[in-house]
Amino acid sequence: MKKLLFALWVTIPLLGPFGSSEAIVDRIVAVVNQEIIMLSEVEKEVAASGEEIHSGNRLERGEQVRQVRQKVLNQLIEEKLLDIEIKKMGIKVTGKELDAAVEDIKRRNGVTQEQLEKFLERDGLTFEAFKKQLEKRLLRTKLIQWSVKVDMTPGETDLKEFYQKNIDRYRTMESYRPAHILFRVPKGATPDTVQGVRKKCAMVLDKINAGEDFGEMALLYSEDISAKDRGDLGSFKRGELLPDIEREALRLNAGEVSGIVKTDHGFHIIKLLDRKGGTPLPFEDAKERVQSDFHEYQMERAFKQFISSLREKSVIEVRL
């Protein structure tokens, strides 16, 4: 449902819980219709997600660890439910479809095969492992397309209501003003180093989401020259800024903060400070975009309902 980015496909091996070298005794943490999920799978996904534990208090830290693991386990349970349904329905991905998906990723990211493999190697992933992950994603996408149905012809009233609620998406934008916090990844960095940088970025994002001031966090943590300006990059017109940064900035409403954004320079947190000179497009002029956005919104909502229905008809035992 979301556009493909390299980060969606990368899984980084875990050395220990939350980046430590402490040994873990592996065990079953969930059973989903007789399919098992191991603690090692949870820990691996925690590492890849960049979740971080911040409190120095032992009791609070233990509770945070539990919450993070539970959140990740819920995601793994949902993936397991989808995979079980895929097997039940006999859904397959052909070699041609997989190759086409790889080519599409290269085209949309503007990279060659060699560059793609270098990106993956930097994140600790082989090309073959990447293709296996991509195949899983394609299978799940097919399942969702076959199983999740939405009204393809929404009423004018629904579209206009969605347009009004999201008016900032539909402006004639002359300029926009983003800020960012950059965490640089050194050239030739090992997977452990990349993961460490991402965890630091995730920790700062957590602080911002908890109420810390974005500008203060930029002053303290950003490794870009813009840190002295509290992350403010100044005003830009479309096409003037790094595409990955611009794409994420333009997706935000003024005042909103992004998730973690990965570029060749490292990991970023982006905030859209302002939009200037833009006036709302008339509904009729924006209607095609509104229809597309509304369809995506409907798909997200229908997907949640689909997952809920799978849970209801499944036997799930959690042992975490």
Hey, where are the domains in the chain? 6-147, 171-279
Cβ 237 vs Cβ 174: under 8 Å:
yes
Provide CATH code, domain 171-279.
3.10.50.40
Per-residue DSSP letters for 33-57? TTEEEEHHHHHHHHHHHT------S
Check whether 152 has a pLDDT greater than 90: no
Give the closest residue to 214 by CA, choosing from 177, 175, 167: 177
CB–CB of 35/317 below 8 Å? no
DSSP assignment, residue 256? -
Report pLDDT for 11. 31
H runs (alpha helix) in the chain? 6-9, 39-49, 58-89, 95-109, 113-122, 127-147, 156-165, 191-209, 214-221, 243-251, 283-312
pLDDT in tens, 138-151: 999 899 888 887 77
172 pLDDT band (50/70/90 cuts)? Answer: confident
**Minimum mean pLDDT among 29-43, 70-84, 150-164: which range?**
150-164
Give yes or no for a contact between 205 and 262, defined as CB atoms under 8 angstroms apart.
no
Q: How far is CA 254 from the centre of its chain?
A: 20
6-147 and 171-279, same CATH topology: no
Provide the whole-model pTM: 0.55
Mean pLDDT of 38-56: 71
Terminal Cα distance for the chain, rounded: 30
pLDDT of residue 54: 52
CATH topology of domain 6-147: Triger factor/SurA peptide-binding fold (1.10.4030)
For 290-319, what is each residue's pLDDT tens digit? 998 898 888 888 889 999 999 999 999 999
